[in-house]
A and B are shown apart, each in its own frame.
Chain A
Amino acid sequence: MEATVSQIADIVRPFKGQVGATIPVLQAIQTTLGYLPPESFDVIERECGIPAARAYGVATFYAQFRTTPVGKHLIKVCDGTACHVKGSETIVTALRDHLGLEGEADTTDDMLFTVEEVACLGCCSLAPVLMVGSVTYGNLNVEKTREILDEYRRKEG
């Protein structure tokens, strides 16, 4: 874990002394590591002087932050109003089914995929929509959803 601690320290150090930096600090860690490791909060307190409890409070308030590791490909499935009306629930079911995710699990065992439901990606005219990393896919149906996943799996070998 020492590697992570020094890595986090390097990430957060530039924010020292900045006003209102709590969210940017957390975003910086998550951008690099994909999530907020539990050590983050103590490091933030030590390096930036932001109390760990406050940073944790902020991290757990906003939907963007996660405290568990994320798979290589983060899949954001939109459940905005338009997507919901056009059957995003079916897309989520197909996605989780195809990835073999059961119960509360959101990440595949091989750490390749994480599935997250988000409020709205703002591509409502192409509903239902999902994003893999920074690529958006629209006008989905079950078949297309499976094909997208298979494509990523093929690329991974």
Chain B
Amino acid sequence: MEKTTILVGYASCGIAAGAKAVRDLLEQKVAETGAAAEVKQTGCLGICFDEPIVEIHDQQGRWVYRKVNERKAERIFADHVQGGQPIEGFLFHELCDHSTREPKERMFDHQERIALANSGVIDPENIDDYLAVDGYQALENALKRSTPDDVLKIVMDSGLRGRGGAGFPTGMKWSFCKKSKGDLKYIVCNADEGDPGAFMDRNLLEGDPHAVLEGMMLAAYVIGCSQGYVYARAEYPLAIHRLNIAIGQARERGYLGRNILGTGFSFDIKVKEGAGAFVCGEETALFASIEGERGMPRIRPPFPAEAGLWGKPTNNNNVETYANIPWIVRHGADAYRAFGTEKSTGTKVFSLAGKIERGGLVEVPMGIPLRQVIFDIGGGIPRKQEFKAVQLGGPSGGCVPASLLDTPVDYESINATGAIMGSGGMVVMDQNTCMVEVARYFLSFTQKESCGKCTFCRLGTLRMLEVLERITRGEGREGDLEELEGLASQIKGASLCGLGQTAPNPVLTTLKYFRHEYEAHIKDRKCPAGQCKELITFHITADDCTGCTACAKACPADCITGSKGVVHDIVLDDCIKCGSCREVCPTGAVYTR
């Protein structure tokens, strides 16, 4: 009889949701019973909202179990692995080969997986798994049968653009560095995923590290480099761990190091851990950080292709860009161009988070409407709340309102809204999210993260933050909005790097689409979303309160009176206006005014 494979989703999201206990239990069961089964780990499938995920691959095919805890795992093992009876009620039907039930959701219909193809499928810590899905084939073919120019042509023709946010054509970037004079050149992979609310790169590194490495190797072959660096966020320990394992295995098998696969080509990769600075996502700051200095951007030109890391010609791409390369080289430029639009070819990975039913990672062809990503794939807003805006591009991006939900996701169309494609973070907001507060949040972030080199960025963002804080406190003044706009244009114009040039974007887009909300704060001293603490008080409607005590239990200030079956009341003097009661109330009895 063939062995049954039990796959446990073991990326950071799965582990945080409890995958360790599930994996330990299943391993123990297999050992105890001697069942013809093997427990394997894998990365994240992207359905993070349903973690922990356990898959069973048996003679009948593939079965995906959602939200598995120890109790469910025990039953899955007994009924399915040992008894051969899948448990229909626990399944994620859309991904199962033979389930009899109609899937609750159709999330994968709109998706195309190129960068994420192996994530959640292979064991990221086992190079043989990667080799089994044609891993390192692109590299081997290139080294043995193609010239660097052949490979460059494929990347050029594919139309691939930088997935870090700016969208610069990758092939062109490589060609600049290739043309640069110098015997020592560097390849850098930017894995300093700094945008709060984005986790594509973490998942790629945790789920398919070899693909990123292979992408870097192909770039090195094209450009003629012998040394590469991955600059990874220190906040991603598991990604760094798996990257190091992958590098070790690739060296062992002769894909990295001296004289790769006997072809005479030599290249090696080191991992550099970042130390927590958003500005290091800017490439010249990133180089300074690898060099061991404060991560402060330098003036360009010279561009990195001429003088980058340690003053040498350097090619820097982000994780997702490199992860696409092996597929493109394997399948050809036309296959890649078959997805996406004329100017934005291929697919893009997005991370869906915030007020959304099905948060996780999705990969879609460029050009599909935002609405499809958020509603058809993401399942829309939980608890029947209303969609208000989606934040794209992190602190450099902006908030896109409901009226623009039909905007296609491609570089040009997103830019036209005032937001940016960015690295792919999509944070969804509902009507309880105050847009002025969101703008304040981002400004406080960029203000803290400004490296301090340019006066307008260092002080201008602080002035903007002060105005925004005043408005959210209900102390806004006539002329504040004009002052924000004035400061924004000065900061954009007088900052050296992307951080300062884009820092005002969250304010500008919210001013553009939600100006009335700013005006309500300033003129009426009201927060329409019911979020800004100084402007609201919390109350409980006696008619709707069932006395379930959920709010009293959730209250961090212990300021809700009432007992089981008795209408509850909020002691306003002690209330810290955190909104926990509103979050947990099952009948919607908590309201603000």
Interfacial residues, chain A to chain B (CB-CB below 8 A): 19-24, 26-27, 54, 57-58, 61-65, 79-82, 84-87, 89-90, 93-94, 97, 118-127, 129, 134, 136-139, 141-143
Q: Name the residue on A nearest B15 (C-beta).
A: A136
Number of interface residues of B (CB under 8 A): 66
Interchain CB contact (< 8 A) of B293 among A58, A63, A125, A143? A58
Given contacts A87-B578, A125-B360, contact A120 B292 (CB under 8 A): no
B527 interfacial by beta-carbon distance below 8 Å: no
Given contacts A85-B354, A89-B578, A120-B196, contact A137 B16 (CB under 8 A): yes
The reply to whether B556 and A138 contact each other, CB–CB distance below 8 Å, is: no
Q: How far is the CB of A12 from chain B (nearest CB, A)?
A: 13
The reply to whether A90 and B578 contact each other, CB–CB distance below 8 Å, is: yes
List 9 extra interface pairs beyond A21-B292, A64-B234, CB under 8 A: A64-B275, A81-B441, A82-B197, A84-B441, A122-B236, A123-B199, A124-B198, A136-B12, A138-B17
Specify which chain A residues have a CB less than 8 angstroms from the CB of B197 in the assembled complex.
80-82, 120, 124
Give the complex CA separation of A125 and B49 in angstroms.
6
Given contacts A119-B194, A120-B235, contact A63 B355 (CB under 8 A): no
The reply to whether B12 and A123 contact each other, CB–CB distance below 8 Å, is: yes
Give the complex CA separation of A142 and B234 in angstroms.
28
Given contacts A58-B293, A63-B275, contact A123 B354 (CB under 8 A): no
Which residue, B49, B274, B294, B351, has most C-beta atoms of chain A within 10 A?
Answer: B294
Specify which chain B residues have a CB less than 8 angstroms from the CB of A27 in the assembled complex.
234, 273, 275
Give the complex CA separation of A127 and B199 in angstroms.
12
Q: Name the residue on B nearest A130 (C-beta).
A: B16
Give the complex CA separation of A129 and B352 in angstroms.
15
B538-593 interface with A by 8 A CB criterion: 553-557, 576, 578-580, 583-584
B394 interfacial by beta-carbon distance below 8 Å: yes
Specify which chain B residues have a CB less than 8 angstroms from the CB of A79 in the assembled complex.
196
Give the complex CA separation of A65 and B360 in angstroms.
31
Specify which chain A residues have a CB less than 8 angstroms from the CB of B584 in the assembled complex.
141
The reply to whether B196 and A87 contact each other, CB–CB distance below 8 Å, is: no
Specify which chain A residues have a CB less than 8 angstroms from the CB of B273 in the assembled complex.
23-24, 27
B429 interfacial by beta-carbon distance below 8 Å: yes
The reply to whether A81 and B196 contact each other, CB–CB distance below 8 Å, is: yes
Interfacial residues, chain B to chain A (CB-CB below 8 A): 12-13, 15-17, 48-49, 51, 193-199, 202, 233-237, 272-278, 289-295, 310, 351-355, 359-360, 391, 394, 425, 427, 429, 433, 438, 441-442, 445, 449, 451, 553-557, 576, 578-580, 583-584
Give the complex CA separation of A126 and B15 in angstroms.
11
Give the complex CA separation of A47 and B270 in angstroms.
24
Give the complex CA separation of A94 and B579 in angstroms.
12
Q: How far is the CB of B90 from chain A (nearest CB, A)?
A: 19
Given contacts A21-B292, A63-B277, A84-B441, contact A122 B193 (CB under 8 A): yes
The reply to whether A61 and B277 contact each other, CB–CB distance below 8 Å, is: yes
Specify which chain A residues have a CB less than 8 angstroms from the CB of B583 in the assembled complex.
87, 141
The reply to whether A23 and B292 contact each other, CB–CB distance below 8 Å, is: yes
Q: How far is the CB of A20 from chain B (nearest CB, A)?
A: 4
The reply to whether A142 and B556 contact each other, CB–CB distance below 8 Å, is: yes
Top-4 shortest CB links A-B: A81-B197, A125-B359, A63-B276, A80-B196
Give the complex CA separation of A90 and B359 in angstroms.
21
Give the complex CA separation of A59 and B580 in angstroms.
37
Give the complex CA separation of A79 and B449 in angstroms.
14
Q: How far is the CB of B509 from chain A (nearest CB, A)?
A: 14
